[in-house]
Amino acid sequence: MTQQTEQFKKVISHAKEYGFVFPSSEIYDGLSAVYDYAQNGAALKNNIREFWWKAMVQLNENIVGIDAAIFMHPTTWKASGHVDAFNDPLIDNKTSKKRYRADVLVEEYVAKIEGKIEKEIEKAAKRFGEAFDEAEFRATNPRVKANQEKADAILKRLGKSLEKEDLADLKALIEELEISCPESGSREWTDVKQFNLMFGTKLGASAETAMDLYLRPETAQGIFVNFLNVQKTGRMKLPFGIAQTGKAFRNEIVARQFIFRMREFEQMEMQFFIAPGTQKEWYEQWKEKRMKWHLALGMGADKYRFHDHEKLAHYADAAADIEFRFPFGFKELEGIHSRTDFDLGSHEKYTGKKLQYFDPERNENYVPYVVETSIGLDRMFLAVFSNSLTEEALEGGASRTVLKFPYALAPNKAAVLPLVKKDGLPELAKTIVEELKWHFQTVYDEKDAVGRRYRRQDALGTPFCITVDHQTLEDQTVTVRERDSMKQERIAIKALKEKLLDQVSMTSLLKKI
Ligand code: GAP
């Protein structure tokens, strides 16, 4: 097992064991690529959502939030292009009968080449120490250069065949690269076919009159169809944005990698409506702003990179991903798309209704252009969770597992622990919980020895443990232990709220953006 796979397995089992993520309907053996968030997972997810929502809506005067329905008029999806173009290229392996996304097979092949490059770089960085110049090494090392050229050439060809929908060339590429089925090892492939990812359902009681609907594959269309409603009722002036979080559904073929690719997932999207011709500038601004949001979490700048798209979606004139270093390599976390006037223009055509804005400065009506930021909440959860999960060696040969969540995202901010279950310590500890719970999520924990309770709270990612002991009865002070450093300090009970709130609040995180 590679180190990456081992780390990823640890992420999945920790998520289950500590009440973050469960397979859906597990007592019926689960449902492929569908997951439930458990008590701690739901809290972490809510905190990530709040961080996004407040950064978008609360901190930007010109962005408002909505909550549109999942069901939409079916013509929405014709207008948006999803009925005709929301397809994945599929290929079946004749031996294993397993179905794959043809483009993903090629991308995984390229990821292996990139893995080799990373290894070379890591080795060289160790060898040269401080003097190591990565850019120069990449430009001069013959093996790295050859591998990089190979990876770039494959991605270029993949981009071209996807853009032209040249499915025969996609199959030829898989054959030329001698890609075999991960399951059977066979290279017996069918032709590549297109497959629409939308889930269909029906609205209405009788089979004859029921209307065919789709479960929305993106939340964005709920924003586009409400553009005029929001603009008029909110008296919004361009440029302005509409933000939304909510469920989206895709019948994903390659639904592996835990919550990275799910069939039911949640998006956090923002459509920023702008004047035609200003899209390039806003696109760059939103790329930068979104990266700042990520970096505020303090998970390390080396964990992120931009990936500019070669193949553009049917609606875009520019697009980039913010990729994150997941345990299985760099993968898309968020998309920033310059969507032109495609969506509003298309809804105009299909509805016959004007979706335009009168610009007093230009003294003209036009269909606004849109720059979109779109991030998967579940992917963000996986990024935060996998990055935070740490195994640390302790003195004396012991080790501990810690979820080093950014404080404001942790499910519980503090745990109050009576040293023993007698002498009035539990009662006193409970009064502290009663006081703190008004300000942040605080839990009470009295089971097991205090050392084990520290370990348990570390594994849940609780930033602070507050221990009540016999000295507390005398001087009204407690021991506060910080999760990452394990440092302890004595603090007066009455100073706790101020001291901790300053560090764990969403405000303190938002101020870092
Ligand atoms: N409105 C644009 C749009 O939907 P996208 O790149 O298809 O663009 C945006 O999706 C984000 O949604 C992705 O960057 C990813 O974080 C998340 N996402 C997409 N498909 C997903 C899936 N099957 N499971 C989990 N998250 C997904």
Q: In the prediction, which pLDDT does 383 show?
A: 98
> For ligand 1, atom 19, which residue shows the shortest CA distance?
376
- Whether 222 and 172 map to the same domain: the answer is no
Q: List pLDDT tens digits, range 208-223.
A: 888 889 999 999 999 9
> Which of 196, 227, 260 finishes a domain?
196
> For ligand 1, atom 27, which residue shows the shortest CA distance?
376
Q: For residues 307 and 332, is the Cβ–Cβ distance under 8 A? A: yes
Q: In the prediction, which pLDDT does 312 show?
A: 80
Q: List pLDDT tens digits, range 53-72.
A: 999 999 999 999 999 999 99
Q: In the prediction, which pLDDT does 3 show?
A: 67
The CATH number assigned to the domain holding 452 equals 3.40.50.800
> Which of 378, 393, 408 finishes a domain?
393
Residues with Cβ within 8 Å of residue 111, at least 6 apart in sequence:
329
> For ligand 1, atom 21, which residue shows the shortest CA distance?
261
> For ligand 1, atom 9, which residue shows the shortest CA distance?
374
Strand 442-444 to 414-418 pairing: parallel
> For ligand 1, atom 7, which residue shows the shortest CA distance?
218
> 375 C-alpha to center of ligand 1: Å?
6
> For ligand 1, atom 17, which residue shows the shortest CA distance?
376
- Whether 103 and 13 map to the same domain: the answer is no
Q: In the prediction, which pLDDT does 484 show?
A: 96
**Residue 77 belongs to a domain:** no
> 247 C-alpha to center of ligand 1: Å?
11
Return the percentage of the chain with pLDDT > 90, whole number: 85
Q: For residues 186 and 180, is the Cβ–Cβ distance under 8 A? A: yes
Q: Is the peptide bond before 360 cis (omega within 30 degrees of 0)?
A: no
Characterise 29 by phi-psi region: left (phi > 0), alpha (psi -120 to 50), beta (else): left
Q: List pLDDT tens digits, range 307-361.
A: 998 778 778 899 999 999 999 899 999 999 999 999 999 999 999 999 999 999 9
- Whether 135 and 268 map to the same domain: the answer is no
Where do the H-state alpha helices sit in 220-278? 220-224, 227-233
- Average pLDDT score over residue span 376-393: 97
Query: Does residue 396 carry a pLDDT above 90?
Result: no
- Whether 221 and 367 map to the same domain: the answer is yes
- Average pLDDT score over residue span 88-113: 92
> Which of 393, 411, 429 finishes a domain?
393
- Average pLDDT score over residue span 235-259: 92
> 6 C-alpha to center of ligand 1: Å?
26
- Average pLDDT score over residue span 412-421: 97
Q: For residues 461 and 410, is the Cβ–Cβ distance under 8 A? A: yes
- Average pLDDT score over residue span 367-387: 98
Q: Residue 446 in 3-state DSSP?
A: coil
- Whether 301 and 346 map to the same domain: the answer is yes
Average pLDDT of the chain?
94
Q: Which residues line ligand 1 (CB under 6 A)?
A: 218, 220, 250, 252, 261-262, 265, 267, 269, 332-335, 372, 374-376, 378-379
- Whether 20 and 124 map to the same domain: the answer is no
When computed from its CA atoms, the radius of gyration of the chain, rounded to whole angstroms, is 26
- Whether 26 and 10 map to the same domain: the answer is yes
Q: List pLDDT tens digits, range 164-211.
A: 889 999 999 999 999 999 889 999 999 999 999 999 999 988 878 888
**Residue 311 belongs to a domain:** yes
Cα first-last separation, the chain: 38
- Whether 132 and 173 map to the same domain: the answer is yes
> 376 C-alpha to center of ligand 1: Å?
5
Q: How confident is the model at residue 253 (pLDDT cuts 50, 70, 90)?
A: confident
> 377 C-alpha to center of ligand 1: Å?
9
Q: List pLDDT tens digits, range 84-99.
A: 888 889 999 999 999 8
Domain count, the chain: 3
**Residue 182 belongs to a domain:** yes
**Residue 471 belongs to a domain:** yes
- Average pLDDT score over residue span 1-23: 89
Among 264, 265, 271, 321, the mutation site with the greatest number of ligand 1 atoms within 8 A of its Cβ is: 265
What's the rounded Cα separation, in Å, for the pair 283 and 294? 17
> In Å, how far from its chain's centre is CA 257?
13
Residue 340: domain span: 1-72+214-393
**Residue 133 belongs to a domain:** yes
- Whether 288 and 362 map to the same domain: the answer is yes
Whole-angstrom CA distances from 507 to 207, 388, 464, 501 are 52, 21, 18, 9
DSSP element (H, E) containing 445 = none
Among 374, 380, 382, the mutation site with the greatest number of ligand 1 atoms within 8 A of its Cβ is: 374
Q: List pLDDT tens digits, range 457-475.
A: 999 999 999 999 999 999 9
**Residue 80 belongs to a domain:** no
The CATH number assigned to the domain holding 361 equals 3.30.930.10
**Residue 13 belongs to a domain:** yes
**Residue 457 belongs to a domain:** yes
> 127 C-alpha to center of ligand 1: Å?
39
Query: Does residue 5 carry a pLDDT above 90?
Result: no
> 360 C-alpha to center of ligand 1: Å?
36
- Average pLDDT score over residue span 238-267: 93
- Whether 22 and 170 map to the same domain: the answer is no
Q: In the prediction, which pLDDT does 492 show?
A: 97
> 84 C-alpha to center of ligand 1: Å?
18
- Whether 300 and 433 map to the same domain: the answer is no
Give the burial string for 47-82 (b: 16+ CB within 10 Å, else e): bbbbbbbbbbbeebeebbebebeeebeeebbebbeb
Q: Which atom of ligand 1 is nearest to the CA of 218?
A: 4
Q: Which atom of ligand 1 is nearest to the CA of 255?
A: 23
Q: For residues 271 and 241, is the Cβ–Cβ distance under 8 A? A: yes
Q: What are the backbone dihedrals phi and psi of residue 389, each rounded to the nearest 5 degrees, phi first?
A: -70, 115
- Average pLDDT score over residue span 478-490: 97
The DSSP code sequence of 184-229 is: T----B---EEEE-PPEEEESSSTTTPEEEEB-S-SHHHHHTTHHH
> For ligand 1, atom 2, which residue shows the shortest CA distance?
374
Q: List pLDDT tens digits, range 404-413.
A: 999 999 999 9
Q: Cα-Cα-Cα-Cα dihedral of 295, 219, 193, 111, to 10°?
A: 10
The residue behind tokens 């081992």 is 6
> For ligand 1, atom 14, which residue shows the shortest CA distance?
334
- Whether 290 and 382 map to the same domain: the answer is yes
Long-range contacts of 112-117 (CB under 8 A, 24+ apart): 113/147, 113/150, 113/151, 113/154, 114/147, 114/151, 114/329, 114/330, 115/329, 116/147, 117/144, 117/147, 117/148, 117/151
> 307 C-alpha to center of ligand 1: Å?
15
The DSSP code sequence of 340-366 is: ETHHHHHHHHHH-----EEETTTTEEE
> In Å, how far from its chain's centre is CA 498?
32
Where do the H-state alpha helices sit in 437-505? 450-460, 470-475, 493-504
What's the pTM value of the predicted model, to 2 decimals?
A: 0.88
Query: Does residue 1 carry a pLDDT above 60?
Result: no
